[in-house]
Amino acid sequence: MLNLTYNYKIIPTKEQIEKIEHNLIVCKSVWNFALAERKLWYNSRSCPVNACSIKSEYVVPPFEYPNYHTQSANLTQAKKTNDFLKSGNAQAMQQTLRKLDRAFNDMKSKGKGFPRFKKQMKSFNLISNKFEVVGNKLRMPLLKEVRFIKSRDIPEGFKIKQVQIVKKASGYYVNLGIELDVDVSSPHPHGHAIGIDVGISSLLATSDGLTIKRPKFLNSVLRKIELLQRKLRNKIKGSGKYRKLQKRIALLYETTANRRKDYHFKLAHQLCDGVGMIFVEDINFTAWSRGRFCKQSLDMGLGQFFTTLEYICSQTDTYFAKVDKSYTSQICPNCGTHTGKKDLPERVHFCPECGYTQDRDIAAAEIVRERGLTRTRHLGLPQVREMSAAVGAPVVKQPCNGGLAGAIA
Ligand SMILES: [Zn+2]
């Protein structure tokens, strides 16, 4: 099964906008109610050991944990008597509960934060097999027929399985989840291998000696946002000028996100070019962004970049794997000696054992590549070419043809 997401801007009519806005409000209430229910369960079970249980314990009768299934069943029941819930789209509400369930699962498995109450819902999902594109119109259950800007064609043979309607500062968008029924084998390790190290002075470095600087283009926009936010503080909340400024800030944020995404895609394609295997460090970006890399990594969205890179790899028949990140900056890539901890300003790796000298980030990237290659050898993954050739000359690859040719081949 091949799944892709295509993004389009839609041009809804006045009535359609009303429908979208109404469903966003309904979904927001569903989210907040379901979250409150789960929160109550958590709180009812947590009483500090050193506190008096009469004062600190929640006094609620014991109830079962409200998981997705019970919440979904309760919603169906509540809809029978509640007109407000009845007015919303059933699918959209159900999917909102699913999203909340996923947020709780991510919290447990990926160490993400406790889900929050929403002041504003920005999107909802619809699942159906009745989606259809006719010309420049999208047919779907809730909105019937909505005009959209067909910035690119949906590839032949794909079926639309899911539609996400997203509200942004610049208007309304749809994310179409499309699916093709084919066998997709993930790329095998083959060809030239590179390791990537997330640098300190540079954005990243590869074992081939390429270092990528932090792009400057975001700085100017961020400075503008800061300036507008300072202005916003002097305005009366809710006034016309306040709202106008707020909208300008939201638009700037959107531009920043778009530019960043664009940059990530270009960079990922550049890295995949002529390469058969890419190895990166296995970094927990959630924990990372709370640490000393806070500002840089948030500006850059490195976690997002790694996800993009993994996606582009799958589209260009490039093998992608994460490797253990410990001590990458302390081991000599030439002889394997532990050279000890480097201070932050220390830019160069110098090995006292073998005399190997290299840029610090590039040396770390070389370690990442070595680990990746060792790992594929251990896993006994089928190799297209001998490992000795892997470190040699780059392989000429077919260009990525709309992402499809590489993935199906
Ligand atoms: Zn050495």
Report pLDDT digits (tens) over 183-215.
777 788 889 999 999 866 678 899 999 998 877
Cα(243) to ligand 1 centroid in Å equals 60
**Residue holding tokens 């890399």?**
293
pLDDT of residue 340: 80
**Residue holding tokens 């407000």?**
84
Distance CA 145, CA 103 (A): 31
CB 71 within 8 A of CB 37: yes
pLDDT of residue 277: 94
Distance CA 71, CA 134 (A): 36
Cα(339) to ligand 1 centroid in Å equals 8
Cα(194) to ligand 1 centroid in Å equals 20
**Residue holding tokens 């019970």?**
70
Cα(347) to ligand 1 centroid in Å equals 16
pLDDT in tens, the chain (409 residues): 778 889 999 999 999 999 999 999 999 999 999 999 999 888 877 766 666 655 555 666 777 889 999 999 999 999 999 999 999 999 999 999 999 999 999 888 877 889 999 999 999 999 988 899 998 999 998 999 999 999 888 888 889 999 999 999 999 999 999 988 877 777 888 899 999 998 666 788 999 999 988 777 777 888 898 999 999 998 888 899 999 999 999 999 898 888 888 999 999 999 999 999 999 998 876 666 665 555 555 556 778 888 899 989 988 889 999 998 888 888 999 988 888 887 777 888 888 889 899 998 999 999 999 999 998 888 765 554 444 344 444 444 444 333 333 333 2
- Residue 220 CB partners (closer than 8 Å, separation 6+): none
Q: Is 364 helix (H, G, I), strand (E, B) or coil?
A: helix
For 172, the enclosing helix (H) or strand (E) is strand 171-180
Cα(331) to ligand 1 centroid in Å equals 8
Written as six digits, the tokens of 130 are: 């009745």
pLDDT of residue 148: 94
Q: How far is CA 170 from CA 25, 270, 365, 408, in A?
A: 19, 30, 40, 35
Cα(350) to ligand 1 centroid in Å equals 8
Cα(342) to ligand 1 centroid in Å equals 15
- Residue 303 CB partners (closer than 8 Å, separation 6+): 283, 285, 286, 289, 297
- Residue 60 CB partners (closer than 8 Å, separation 6+): 40, 44
Written as six digits, the tokens of 107 are: 């919290």
Cα(330) to ligand 1 centroid in Å equals 11
Question: Which amino acid belongs to residue 66?
Answer: P
Written as six digits, the tokens of 55 are: 């004062």
- Residue 243 CB partners (closer than 8 Å, separation 6+): none
Cα(354) to ligand 1 centroid in Å equals 4
CB 408 within 8 A of CB 183: no
Distance CA 193, CA 191 (A): 6
CB 187 within 8 A of CB 320: yes
**Residue holding tokens 């079970």?**
45
CB 217 within 8 A of CB 224: no
Cα(335) to ligand 1 centroid in Å equals 4
Cα(349) to ligand 1 centroid in Å equals 9
